[in-house]
Amino acid sequence: MRAEPRKPEGGELARGAAARLFHLILTFERRALALFARLGRAILGASRDLHTGDAQEYLLFLVGLSVLAVLLPLLR
């Protein structure tokens, strides 16, 4: 006598769907955080060069901030 394969019940299907959805959302969150981390590293990478003490780099940084301060109100 052969036993028939057991069909998954509603609770098991819901549990499986919830687990898949959980892993999908977790993967999405990890990728989003990794993107923000890479973006933050790219933006802050230029500020690491300021510790060299080179006066010309510091002046270029101040000029860049000044241009940004003038352009930001215009872009609103």
| pLDDT for res 27 | 96
Higher pLDDT, 30 or 46: 30
pLDDT beyond 90 at 25: yes
The domain ranges of the chain are 10-75
* Residues 1-4: contacts with CB under 8 Å, at least 24 apart: none
State the DSSP code for 76. -
| pLDDT for res 41 | 86
| pLDDT for res 61 | 85
Could you give phi then psi for residue 22, rounded to 5 degrees? -60, -45
CB 56 within 8 A of CB 48: no
CA distance 9 to 54: 70
